[in-house]
């Protein structure tokens, strides 16, 4: 029977890393997958994470299962980190949070939860969005629509077109938004735009799902959560998928959360019970290590301060690289205006490079960029930037 299988194409993002690892060019550069690199081109373990790991090695008493919904301390602290400690949705007990296997399984648990409890729904994704969004929701049996997001003419937000589409979304559909550091464009909504979107969601009865994988890498941990908090303040029902891959560097620990804000606490209990059913039939219960690290850092005053500083440093290195990248392109005599790269937020920059240019960079220069032209700015270092800029000028 198995001969019926057909070969699946490589993953557009993680498949690039597979190709990169096989490349024997010693000067190869990987700007594909969204993984932070320091200026030595390493993805180091945070100091704070190492400290907690040392502590856990000595003090951890058991490897017994976590509850289906994960570590309660972790879930509580994640709610505070995302929504703010004084958020009235929390004090009104209408927030339910479960720990998930990274941000990706938070999305999939959401999809399965909605499908099982409300029936198949249509979800609206930004154009463009993270490559995996469409696949997750397609696999879960959703219908999909897109709303305009990127304006290629000015490399900014296609705000008017986006609004016009949001105004057509029927009641009961789901709108997927990026909480900050939009992946892949790096273009975020401003305060007024979040307010406008919140009004539309509320008046039209659209359910928001906010993907929040980069908190702290745009303008700061608090600043990056403002859009989400605006939506939660105005809209009675909201889902949020958080990831701690980037802002704690816990990529391979697969640590994330699914937060559900409900209209009242009774509904919240019902939603939580169904989230547990969905998790139990997916992976039973989540892994403990990453969650222990996150909640220990968030609850220890000294560790928390040090971690906040570590996130700030990542954020500021990315900003420095954006600036340097734009400057170097100018120095090289590139007349095309790339200054928009400095305005974009988070790890990614939608460079405007075409698929053909991206493929030439890969084949001729061993520089790996996602086909859409998305560059992981966090992969640029003072060591590889000249080679990168030189190669780009060759393919422009």
Kindly list the catalytic residues: 130, 211, 246
Q: Nearest distance from residue 290's CB to ligand LMR, in Å?
A: 15
Rule CB under 6 A: is residue 186 a binding residue for ligand LMR? no
130 or 142: whose CB is closer to ligand LMR? 130
Q: In the complex with ligand LMR, which residue's Cβ is closer, 132 or 269?
A: 132
Scan residues 19-48 and list those touching ligand LMR (CB under 6 A): 33-34
Element (H, E) at 13: none
Residue nearest to ligand LMR (CB): 34
Residues 72-111 vs ligand LMR: string with x where CB under 6 A? ----------------------------------------
User: Quick one: DSSP state of residue 35?
Assistant: -
| Nearest-angstrom CA–CA distance, 154 and 147 | 18
Cα–Cα distance, 90 to 182 (Å, whole number): 26
Report in angstroms how near the CB of residue 344 gets to ligand LMR at its nearest.
15
Name which of 261, 276, 279 is nearest 101 in CA terms: 279
| Between 70 and 184, CB nearer to ligand LMR | 184
* CA 87 – CA 95 distance, rounded (Å): 10
Would you state the structure tokens that stand for residue 234, as one six-digit string?
Answer: 């105005």
Q: Could you tell me the smallest distance in angstroms from the CB atom of residue 104 to ligand LMR? A: 6
Q: Is the dihedral of CA 259, 279, 201, 263 positive or negative?
A: negative
Which CB, 34 or 286, lies closer to ligand LMR?
34
132 or 393, CB closer to ligand LMR?
A: 132
What does the angle CA 301 – CA 83 – CA 157 come to, to the nearest 5 degrees? 120
DSSP reduced 3-state for 395: helix
Residues in 2-21 at the binding interface with ligand LMR, rule: CB under 6 A: 13
Determine how many CB atoms are found less than 10 A away from the CB of residue 273: 11
Please report, as residue ranges, which positions from 121 to 150 form the binding site for ligand LMR (by CB under 6 A).
130, 132
Q: 368 - beta bridge partners?
A: 30
d(CA 282, CA 113): 11
Minimum distance of ligand LMR from residue 32's CB (angstroms): 7
Which residues of this protein are in contact with ligand LMR, per CB under 6 A?
13, 33-34, 130, 132, 183
């Amino acid at each position: 029977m198995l001969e019926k299988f057909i070969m699946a194409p490589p993953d557009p993002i993680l498949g690039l890393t597979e190709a990169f690892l096989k490349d024997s060019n010693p000067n190869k550069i990987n700007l594909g997958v969204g993984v932070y690199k320091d200026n030595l081109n390493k993805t180091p373990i945070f100091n704070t994470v190492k400290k907690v790991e040392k502590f856990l090695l000595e003090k951890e008493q058991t490897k017994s299962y976590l509850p289906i919904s994960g570590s309660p301390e972790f879930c509580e602290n994640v709610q505070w980190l995302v929504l703010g400690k004084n958020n009235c949705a929390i004090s009104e007990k209408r927030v339910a949070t479960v720990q998930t296997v990274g941000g990706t399984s938070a999305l999939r648990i959401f999809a399965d939860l909605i499908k099982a409890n409300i029936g198949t729904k249509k979800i609206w994704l930004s154009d463009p969005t993270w490559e995996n969004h469409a696949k997750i929701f397609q696999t879960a049996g959703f219908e999909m629509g897109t709303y305009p997001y990127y304006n290629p003419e000015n490399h900014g937000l296609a705000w008017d077109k986006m609004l016009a589409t949001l105004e057509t979304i029927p009641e009961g559909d789901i709108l997927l938004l990026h909480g900050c550091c939009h992946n892949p464009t790096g273009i975020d909504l401003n305060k007024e735009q979040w307010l406008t979107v919140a009004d539309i969601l509320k008046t039209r009865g659209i359910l928001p799902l906010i993907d929040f994988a980069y908190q702290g890498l745009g303008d700061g941990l608090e600043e990056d959560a403002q859009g989400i908090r605006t939506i939660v303040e105005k809209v009675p029902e909201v889902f949020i998928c958080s990831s701690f891959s980037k802002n704690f560097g816990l990529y391979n620990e697969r640590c994330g959360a699914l937060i559900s804000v409900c209209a009242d606490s009774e509904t919240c209990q019902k939603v939580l019970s169904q989230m547990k059913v969905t998790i139990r039939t997916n992976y039973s219960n989540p892994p403990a290590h990453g969650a222990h690290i996150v909640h220990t850092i968030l609850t220890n005053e000294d560790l928390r301060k040090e971690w906040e500083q570590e996130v700030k440093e990542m954020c500021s290195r990315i900003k420095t690289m954006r600036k340097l990248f734009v400057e170097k392109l100018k120095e090289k005599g590139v007349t095309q205006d790339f200054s928009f790269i400095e305005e974009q937020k988070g790890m990614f920059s939608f460079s405007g490079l075409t698929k053909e240019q991206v493929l030439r960079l890969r084949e001729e220069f061993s520089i790996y960029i996602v086909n859409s032209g998305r560059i992981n700015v966090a992969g640029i270092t003072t060591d590889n930037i000249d080679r990168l800029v030189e190669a780009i000028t060759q393919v422009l």
